[in-house]
Amino acid sequence: MTIADTTQATFAADVDSDVPVLVDFWAPWCGPCKALTPHIEQLAADYDGRLKVLKLNIDDAPDGWAHFGVRGVPTLAFYANGKEHGRLTGPSTTRLRVMVEKWFGDLGLDVPVALGAAGGDAAVREPARANAQPAEASRSTWRSFGGDAAAKAACLERLRDGAPNGYHPSALMAGEGHAFEAAVGAPEKLGQLLDMLYWIQSGRDPLATDSTKQQVLELVDAMPVGADLGPVADDVLYELGFASRWEITQYFANPQSRALVDQIAAAHRLAHSGEAVAVSEWAALQRRAVLLVDHGCDADVSQAVESFAAPIAEWTARMLPAIIDRATHDESRYPEWTAPERSRIDAIQEADRDRIRAELGDFHGDGDEARSAWMAKAAELHAQFDRQRRAEQPELYARYEGWLGFEKHTLMQICADVAASLRARLLASAPSVR
């Protein structure tokens, strides 16, 4: 296995190879880049001799973002005979493996036998887990606040006293130097869901910051002492995705994607009823989701379906904004804003980002302060360009503002429903009094 570094100066020569080349565009400050690294190393080992893997630090490349057309990191680009064949931005490990297999197939090349039979599925790499047990069989038991009412009171006090700037509910609940799970006696996912509810609403409407903080306080106040809150976050996310007015199957019009999402929903309902769904079945659904790009679906749709095709236990609080995104881009809910208009706005905003990079250059520097200063300048330019665009195309931006109002209203509705579901489940988790 060999993974080599490349530079902008040597790039053309490095990708001109007898075997396909996978280039990892990364940056030192990028957390997802670091998380993906061991999986890229494993991929290089699995394809040893068949695939050349290169890494390029995009921050070290002069004008590298624009030169290589990189919009975000990590970006993985696949080259054959010196020419780019395909690329992925921020892929899951499943997507990376499946797409490398697909690209090999496009070129008429064989993948390693072990991978060709398995597709890189987790079920083959972890045979002991191939036949999953129902979630209830292996779930941990929790005891909220360690059964101590004073611990809950201290959490609430920290939440009330938390500074408005950088308000972080789960960290405040835990207290300085303490982990959420140890301090609260509940899964970290529950804290992440509280964080996400606060950040989404206050970020979309700064005027709602106080009411959103009050919502968090009411939710924490609803947490019973000494209860097992283990299943609460998973149950809330399941309800949002598959048993609420926002359920996910309604957002996929393409026949192939809709059929697959229906199967994903059926698997989730089966698992929620207590039946076992094999790891290999989830892996097969995820693989099919990745390959939707071959059936008239764009990468965004494929990635959304892939994210839904994981057991609820693997869902994170990030599924809340993912479902909000599906709902707010559903043309049947707001037909006054069309896909072509959205594409025009996307293209304008992409062009403005390119203008910002042309004026400021790519970020080069060390430390959070330098990055914050660069981002502040970029935000100032973005506001300037946005004012210019609105003056140039008032009708388009008037319709865009209409959609933004719809988006905000829908976002707040979904968050209100999730908060209500969460509160009801917290209250219902109270230990029975004997």
List the catalytic residues: 30, 33
- Do 73 and 30 meet the contact criterion of CB atoms below 8 Å apart? yes
b/e sequence 346-385, b meaning 16+ C-beta within 10 Å: eebeeebbeebbeeeebbeeeeeeeeeebeeebeebeeeb
Supply the DSSP string of 81-120, one letter for each residue. Answer: TTEEEEEEES--HHHHHHHHHHHHHHTTPPPPHHHHHHTT
Q: Which residues fall within 8 angstroms of residue 290, CB to CB, at 6 or more apart?
A: 94, 95, 98, 99, 302, 306
* Token reading at 376: 């502040």
Cα–Cα distance between 319 and 418 in angstroms, integer?
12
Count CB-CB contacts under 10 A for residue 249: 15
From residue 72, alpha-carbon distances to 45, 58, 230, 360 in Å are 26, 10, 35, 17
Which helix (H) or strand (E) segment holds residue 56: the answer is: strand 52-57
Q: Which residues fall within 8 angstroms of residue 329, CB to CB, at 6 or more apart?
A: 251, 342
* Strand order across the beta sheet in which 52-57 lies: 3-5, 52-57, 21-26, 75-80, 83-89
Cα–Cα distance between 235 and 312 in angstroms, integer?
8
